[in-house]
Amino acid sequence: MRPNIVTEAGLQTRAGQWWESIPFLTSAVVVVCGVIYLVCLLSGYDSFYEICFLPTAVVSHFQVYRIYTSILFHGSVLHVLFNMLALVPLGSELERIMGSIRLAYLIILLATTNAIFHLFIALLVAHNPFHPYPYLMNECAIGFSGILFSMIVIETSLSGVQSRSVFGLFNVPAKWYAFILLVVFQLLMTNVSLLGHLCGILSGFAYIYGLFNFLMPGASLFSAIEASSWLSSCVRRPKFILCTGGSPTSYIPTYSGQNTTSSGLLTGNIWRNLSSWMPQRETSAQAEQDYRFPGRGRSLGSGQSETVPAVNSDSNLQARLLDNSNPDLSSHLGVTATREPLLDGRSSVAGNAVGATLGRPALLQHPAPSEEQIQKLVSMGFDKTQVEVAISAADGDLNVAVEILMSQQG
């Protein structure tokens, strides 16, 4: 009996830890969709025709509520289970980048734009002069999967990966990943809304290319919402992630190597996009109270770089390194990044450029940054001279270069 008890306790503990790792809004959506399905199941409610997204009902009776009720209801236990299991990693990743309130707004925006695309295509197909096809106008679509396809497109763009695996069977180019999933699900499953999923993909691409920028409020509005009294009970919860990145339990995911994190969602440039939605760093006065980066510090950059323990001198060297009046200084420095110890013993990413020694031999100098790397960071609004120095200081790692530039601005 005791081994079974221990096993059950271990599973329960791991399940609890997994659930606690899911951010506030993502876990709330999972709970809401799960509870709605259970209520429908226990009460015997199956009149999904009344709440699904039905283009003909939206057009003829202006039942716009269907845009939002349709994403919360699911037709079967497998439907809700698969959708929520897919939502957890996708929603968690985006929520940690954007914040809970901003992600909630994004979900509402995607639900609305998905419905608009769905309605437009259904009307176009049903009333085209060549071969009218009214079936799409009477298609009843429910489920969260349309939003999930939008999230797949957005998350894939933010990750910066070049390829992705489809169920571990084969790799496909990242830009085609959502379309491959669309075809695979259409072939493997019945009663799948091809148009609903396709519209989710279209909304995702419209978002990452900046077509919805005029619909996105500024950070000040989200901060005002977070500061409101009616939301205070939610904001105080440990899993809630502030849009400003101020939640002690939140963090900004970073990628290394081929998984380079992009920085924005502005027109024509993915690197410029994420910076507008990424939780901003605390100011230098608040940096010592940032608990988002627990753990021991480690050196970043090339293997020949050397860390310098004097933090004050590190900060001075960083200012000299990124000073416009000394653009050639980086060619004489070996650079690494360190973490500053916090008051409670934790470590926080300082993003500081730490010089090793002056007069380093030419063989150990960092290679010149490529024009593509420079343009990516210049498009984010950084000065070109500072960008060149920061990329050289980061040994070509754009993540570290962005950390250096953002720390200098702060």
- Measured distance CA(409)–CA(403) in Å, rounded: 10
> Which one of the listed residues 100, 197, 247, 379 is annotated catalytic?
197
φ, ψ (nearest 5 deg) of residue 334: -100, 135
Q: How many CB atoms lie within 10 A of CB 81?
A: 13
Q: Which two tokens stand for residue 187?
A: 């072939």
Concerning whether 145 is annotated as a catalytic residue, the answer is yes
Q: Helix (H, G, I), strand (E, B), or coil: what is residue 352?
A: strand
Contacts of 242 by beta carbon, 8 Å cutoff, 6+ apart: 99, 100, 223, 226, 235, 250, 279
CA–CA–CA angle 311, 315, 321 (5° rounding): 135
- Give the closest residue to 135 by CA, choosing from 69, 54, 192, 59: 54
Indicate the DSSP class of residue 45.
-
**Per-residue buried b or exposed e for 1-33, using 16+ beta carbons within 10 Å of the residue's own CB:** eeeeeeeeeeeeeeeeeeeeebbbbbbbbbeeb
Contacts of 166 by beta carbon, 8 Å cutoff, 6+ apart: 172, 177, 180, 181, 184
User: Residue 239 to residues 88, 235, 249, 286, 289: CA-CA distances in angstroms?
Assistant: 14, 9, 6, 21, 18
> Which one of the listed residues 27, 70, 100, 145 is annotated catalytic?
145
Concerning whether 61 is annotated as a catalytic residue, the answer is no
CA–CA–CA angle 369, 372, 374 (5° rounding): 55
Torsion, Cα of 106, 244, 292, 386 (10° steps): 100
Contacts of 360 by beta carbon, 8 Å cutoff, 6+ apart: 332, 333, 334
Longest CA span, the chain: 78
Q: Which residues have a catalytic role annotated? A: 145, 197
